[in-house]
Amino acid sequence: MEQEKVIVIDFGGQYNQLVARRVRECQVYCEIYSYRTPIDEIKAMNPKGIILTGGPNSCYEEGAPTYTKELFELGIPVLGLCYGAQLMNHILGGKVEKAPVREYGKTETIIDGGKDSLFAGVEDSTIVWMSHFDYISQPAPGFEILAHTADCPVAADANEEKKLYAIQFHPEVLHTVRGKEILFNFVRNICGCAGDWRMDSFAEKAVEEIRAKVGDGKVLLALSGGVDSSVLAALLAKAIGKQLTCVFVDHGLLRKNEGDEVEGVFGANGSFDINFVRVNAAERYYAKLAGVSEPERKRKIIGEEFIRVFEEEAKKIGKVDFLAQGTIYPDVVESGLGGESAVIKSHHNVGGLPDYVDFKEIIEPLRNLFKDEVRKVGLELGLPEYLVFRQPFPGPGLGIRIIGEVTAEKVRMVQDADYIYREEVDKAAKAYKDEHGVEAPWMPNQYFAALTNMRSVGVMGDERTYDYAVAVRAVRTIDFMTAEAAEIPFEVLQTVMSRIINEVRGVNRVMYDLTSKPPGTIELE
Ligand code: XMP
């Protein structure tokens, strides 16, 4: 049976992935496509509903992103949000212009209509999240105003007969108090989606699909130990067992104990019946990195060496039928294949494919899932929590958290310091949660230690030292594109400082990195 779905057409707004997330939370499957996607392709997907997102442009300006009017004549319900709302009214003959007053932030909105449809269950006065310069000054013919605010005469309007709805605010943002209900009303009631998309059915379905596709073929996976490739390995293990070979390249730049942890889960003594190959390539990497201190050069060497090592292993295995990749939905969207708000990260681990690994086809079973959905699948497949809730860790690993030249000795220092730091932050966070019943307000989204390239004088006992400084970093961020330093309690930092200096040979100074992103980056490389 065909999976019912809603299509999000992306006009470049910042919350667009959130829209898809929220729709999925209504148990309705949803995908994002750029506004450049031709209407025939959209039609062929047979969507039950279409959502037009926000975007940074003014729809009445020349060259602004637009869409063919035909979209509104398909008989498929359409919901426009912010820019999408303005565009819908503009295309259908309404008027959009610069608003006399810009609205931004939480705004009281009065609901005037749609109380049996889009705004069913929403109070007459409700708080919504606004962010716009332009406004709909005149609804399109056939449209009726459904909501207004003090500064915005058309906070929502609709042609209910044709099931066309336009909302100036952002229901996908949590500050919109009834946002979830409004989206639910649209996808479940107006579009009539049954709501049979369930994460727990994902694994089962994926296993069946993988079996059908792979048959008795062989699959090769480069396992990094990160969340995505680990969940993929567990899924493939369940689907095809020994037909899967995982190659895990330990480049000697992993966090302390990480290589052994990955081997513990996926290796011969782990709980999966697969072929697991661990390549201990640390020496090889250190040799290549000797004397190199320029960060981009280090990244390049590490990336290239990975391909070489992986190729050598793949050759030993011989012909495989499929190469599995842990691509997830944000990767697809970010690399411009899906939506419009393409933020192409040069450092994303798309280092290219090994040229001469001999395979027929790539399989990417996680390519439609968001990160937290991937995590749910991982837990369901029995992966340990520490693996499933791992922090992001860069592909080039500690190689870029050591400023300047990488040596085995420096890797040891940064591994040990990082281990202590994470242990103390985790301990303090747990204590806070146990005491208050909620997560600590300072809980960082990413925290790690880096080794600076600075040595300075200190005293240890009666001895003069001339040792390295460690920088500890903790950031709070939602999207990892912007970040602020987290306010880790001072006593935690003090404990970290004294433990690192006492326990990590070669380090005599600890600094806390306060830099925001921008102008900094999260990694210290
Ligand atoms: P920056 O340092 O660019 O990092 O502010 C943003 C986020 O991306 C992670 N990061 C990487 N992730 N491969 C990755 O998969 C990489 O090469 C890489 N470099 C940085 C970083 O840890 C942070 O979460």
> Residue 110 sits in a domain of what CATH number?
3.40.50.880
Question: Does residue 122 belong to any structural domain of this protein?
Answer: yes
Which of these ranges, 204-208, 342-346, 353-357, 512-516, has the smallest mean pLDDT? Answer: 342-346
170 is catalytic: yes
Number of independent structural domains in the chain: 3
State in Å: Cα 371 to ligand 1 middle.
15
Task: Count the residues in the chain.
Answer: 525
Q: Is 44 left (phi over 0), alpha (psi -120 to 50) or beta?
A: alpha
Neighbouring C-beta atoms of residue 27, cutoff 10 Å:
16
Are 404 and 293 spatial neighbours (Cβ–Cβ below 8 Å)? yes
Q: Write down the pLDDT at residue 144.
A: 98
**Is any ligand 1 atom within 6 A of the Cβ of residue 349?**
yes
**Is any ligand 1 atom within 6 A of the Cβ of residue 84?**
no
Question: Does residue 231 belong to any structural domain of this protein?
Answer: yes
Kindly state whether residues 344 and 487 are assigned to the same domain.
no
Helix (H) or strand (E) holding 136: strand 125-138
Nearest CA to 326 among 259, 263, 233? 233
Domain limits at 33?
5-190
Kindly state whether residues 264 and 332 are assigned to the same domain.
yes
Question: Does residue 290 belong to any structural domain of this protein?
Answer: yes
Q: Write down the pLDDT at residue 360.
A: 84
- Number of the ligand 1 atom closest to the C-alpha atom of 477: 24
Which of these ranges, 33-42, 179-188, 314-323, 326-335, has the smallest mean pLDDT? Answer: 326-335
Which tens digits make up the pLDDT trace of 191-231? 999 999 887 778 988 999 999 999 999 999 999 999 999 99
- Select which of 82, 152, 193, 246 is catalytic: 82
Question: Does residue 518 belong to any structural domain of this protein?
Answer: no
Out of 391, 416, 442, a domain closes at 391
Question: Does residue 197 belong to any structural domain of this protein?
Answer: no
Strands (E), 310-445: 322-324, 361-363
Which tens digits make up the pLDDT trace of 153-170? 999 999 999 999 999 999
**Residue-averaged pLDDT of the chain:** 92
Q: Write down the pLDDT at residue 87.
A: 98
Kindly state whether residues 184 and 208 are assigned to the same domain.
no
Neighbouring C-beta atoms of residue 64, cutoff 10 Å:
16
Model confidence at 121, in pLDDT bands (50, 70, 90)?
A: very high
Which tens digits make up the pLDDT trace of 365-398? 998 888 889 999 999 999 999 999 999 999 999 9
Kindly state whether residues 111 and 221 are assigned to the same domain.
no
For residue 344, pLDDT over 60 is answered with no
Q: Is 112 left (phi over 0), alpha (psi -120 to 50) or beta?
A: alpha
Minimum CA distance residue for ligand 1 atom 10: 394
In whole angstroms, give the CA distance from residue 308 to residue 71: 48
Kindly state whether residues 386 and 431 are assigned to the same domain.
no
- Which tokens sit at 519? 């102008």
Q: Write down the pLDDT at residue 15.
A: 83
In whole angstroms, give the CA distance from residue 31 to residue 416: 43
Model confidence at 54, in pLDDT bands (50, 70, 90)?
A: very high
Residue linked to tokens 């393409």? 342
**Is any ligand 1 atom within 6 A of the Cβ of residue 523?**
yes
Minimum CA distance residue for ligand 1 atom 15: 394
Question: pTM for the complete prediction?
Answer: 0.79
Minimum CA distance residue for ligand 1 atom 20: 394
Which tens digits make up the pLDDT trace of 263-274? 999 999 999 999
Kindly state whether residues 245 and 296 are assigned to the same domain.
yes
Q: Write down the pLDDT at residue 368.
A: 84
Model confidence at 403, in pLDDT bands (50, 70, 90)?
A: very high
Average pLDDT over residues 448-465: 95
Residue 260: CATH number of its domain:
3.40.50.620
Question: Does residue 196 belong to any structural domain of this protein?
Answer: no
Q: What is the DSSP letter of 387?
A: H
Minimum CA distance residue for ligand 1 atom 7: 480
Crossing angle (nearest 10°) for helices 371-380 and 227-240:
40
- Number of the ligand 1 atom closest to the C-alpha atom of 299: 17
Task: Cite the DSSP H helix spans in 271-294.
Answer: 282-289
Question: Does residue 401 belong to any structural domain of this protein?
Answer: no
Kindly state whether residues 138 and 180 are assigned to the same domain.
yes
294 is catalytic: no
Listed in sequence order, the residues at least 6 apart from 360 whose beta carbon sits closer than 8 Å to its beta carbon are 217, 321, 322
Are 452 and 483 spatial neighbours (Cβ–Cβ below 8 Å)? no
